[in-house]
Amino acid sequence: MKRVCSKCKVEKELNTDNFGKRRRDKFGFDTTCKKCRKEYDKKRYKENGERLKSEAKARYWKNRDKRQKYQKNYYEQNKEECIERQKKWDKDNPIQRRIINNLSRCKEFGKCTLTEQ
Protein backbone atom coordinates (compact mmCIF):
# COMPACT_ATOMS: atom_id res chain seq x y z
CA MET A 1 0.00 0.00 0.00
CA LYS A 2 1.24 3.50 -0.78
CA ARG A 3 0.54 6.97 0.56
CA VAL A 4 1.28 10.47 -0.71
CA CYS A 5 3.05 12.71 1.80
CA SER A 6 0.85 15.73 2.51
CA LYS A 7 3.91 18.02 2.62
CA CYS A 8 6.25 16.98 -0.22
CA LYS A 9 3.53 15.26 -2.32
CA VAL A 10 5.78 12.25 -3.03
CA GLU A 11 4.17 8.81 -3.12
CA LYS A 12 5.91 6.40 -0.74
CA GLU A 13 5.38 2.90 0.57
CA LEU A 14 3.17 2.96 3.68
CA ASN A 15 5.42 1.49 6.36
CA THR A 16 7.35 2.54 9.47
CA ASP A 17 10.45 3.32 7.39
CA ASN A 18 8.65 6.15 5.57
CA PHE A 19 5.86 7.28 7.91
CA GLY A 20 5.57 7.61 11.67
CA LYS A 21 2.87 5.75 13.56
CA ARG A 22 -0.36 7.57 14.41
CA ARG A 23 -3.19 5.72 16.12
CA ARG A 24 -5.92 8.20 15.19
CA ASP A 25 -5.27 7.83 11.45
CA LYS A 26 -7.37 5.41 9.43
CA PHE A 27 -4.31 3.39 8.40
CA GLY A 28 -2.33 3.93 11.61
CA PHE A 29 0.35 6.17 10.07
CA ASP A 30 1.07 9.91 9.98
CA THR A 31 0.13 11.87 6.85
CA THR A 32 3.61 13.43 6.46
CA CYS A 33 6.69 11.36 5.72
CA LYS A 34 9.47 11.09 8.30
CA LYS A 35 11.82 13.31 6.29
CA CYS A 36 9.29 16.17 6.11
CA ARG A 37 8.33 15.70 9.75
CA LYS A 38 11.98 15.93 10.79
CA GLU A 39 12.43 19.19 8.84
CA TYR A 40 9.24 20.62 10.36
CA ASP A 41 10.26 19.65 13.92
CA LYS A 42 13.74 21.11 13.46
CA LYS A 43 12.32 24.42 12.19
CA ARG A 44 9.69 24.54 14.94
CA TYR A 45 12.26 23.88 17.66
CA LYS A 46 14.59 26.52 16.25
CA GLU A 47 11.79 29.11 16.29
CA ASN A 48 10.12 28.12 19.58
CA GLY A 49 12.81 26.23 21.50
CA GLU A 50 12.58 28.11 24.79
CA ARG A 51 8.78 27.94 24.89
CA LEU A 52 8.80 24.21 24.07
CA LYS A 53 11.36 23.55 26.82
CA SER A 54 9.37 25.46 29.42
CA GLU A 55 6.14 23.69 28.40
CA ALA A 56 7.85 20.30 28.67
CA LYS A 57 9.22 21.21 32.09
CA ALA A 58 5.78 22.34 33.29
CA ARG A 59 4.21 19.15 31.93
CA TYR A 60 6.83 17.08 33.75
CA TRP A 61 6.16 18.74 37.11
CA LYS A 62 2.40 18.57 36.62
CA ASN A 63 2.48 14.80 35.98
CA ARG A 64 5.56 13.92 38.03
CA ASP A 65 3.84 11.75 40.66
CA LYS A 66 1.74 9.91 38.10
CA ARG A 67 4.80 9.27 35.92
CA GLN A 68 6.89 8.01 38.85
CA LYS A 69 4.09 5.68 39.89
CA TYR A 70 3.84 4.34 36.31
CA GLN A 71 7.61 3.81 36.08
CA LYS A 72 7.74 2.01 39.42
CA ASN A 73 4.84 -0.23 38.41
CA TYR A 74 6.47 -0.97 35.04
CA TYR A 75 9.75 -1.89 36.74
CA GLU A 76 7.94 -4.21 39.18
CA GLN A 77 6.19 -6.01 36.32
CA ASN A 78 9.29 -6.21 34.06
CA LYS A 79 12.11 -6.43 36.59
CA GLU A 80 14.21 -9.09 34.83
CA GLU A 81 13.94 -7.37 31.46
CA CYS A 82 14.90 -3.99 32.97
CA ILE A 83 17.90 -5.49 34.76
CA GLU A 84 19.10 -7.20 31.57
CA ARG A 85 18.68 -3.99 29.57
CA GLN A 86 20.66 -2.05 32.20
CA LYS A 87 23.45 -4.67 32.23
CA LYS A 88 23.69 -4.49 28.44
CA TRP A 89 23.84 -0.68 28.53
CA ASP A 90 26.51 -0.77 31.26
CA LYS A 91 28.60 -3.16 29.16
CA ASP A 92 28.18 -1.10 25.97
CA ASN A 93 28.89 2.26 27.70
CA PRO A 94 31.70 1.77 30.23
CA ILE A 95 32.86 5.40 30.20
CA GLN A 96 29.38 6.83 30.82
CA ARG A 97 28.84 4.21 33.55
CA ARG A 98 32.06 5.28 35.26
CA ILE A 99 31.01 8.95 35.11
CA ILE A 100 27.59 8.16 36.58
CA ASN A 101 29.15 6.09 39.36
CA ASN A 102 31.60 8.86 40.21
CA LEU A 103 28.84 11.46 40.30
CA SER A 104 26.81 9.22 42.62
CA ARG A 105 29.78 8.85 44.95
CA CYS A 106 30.33 12.60 44.82
CA LYS A 107 26.73 13.27 45.89
CA GLU A 108 26.73 10.56 48.54
CA PHE A 109 30.15 11.05 50.13
CA GLY A 110 31.23 14.48 48.91
CA LYS A 111 34.34 13.02 47.30
CA CYS A 112 34.64 13.46 43.56
CA THR A 113 37.20 11.31 41.72
CA LEU A 114 36.63 12.95 38.34
CA THR A 115 39.35 15.37 37.33
CA GLU A 116 39.19 17.93 34.57
CA GLN A 117 41.74 17.43 31.85
- The pTM (predicted TM-score) of the whole model is 0.60
Domain count, the chain: 2
- Is residue 58 domain-shared with residue 70, that is, in the same domain? no
Sequence-distant (6+) residues with CB within 8 A of 96 are none
- Containing 32, the helix (H) or strand (E) segment is strand 29-33
- Is residue 52 domain-shared with residue 80, that is, in the same domain? no
- Is residue 39 domain-shared with residue 54, that is, in the same domain? yes
The parent domain of residue 38 ranges over 2-62
- Is residue 70 domain-shared with residue 49, that is, in the same domain? no
Looking at the domain assignment, is residue 30 inside a domain? Answer: yes
Looking at the domain assignment, is residue 78 inside a domain? Answer: yes
Least confident of 36-40, 44-48, 76-80, 97-101: 97-101
Looking at the domain assignment, is residue 116 inside a domain? Answer: no
- Is residue 46 domain-shared with residue 69, that is, in the same domain? no
What Rg do the C-alpha atoms of the chain give, in angstroms? 21
- Residues 47-97: tens digit of each pLDDT: 999 999 999 999 999 999 999 999 999 999 999 999 999 999 999 999 999
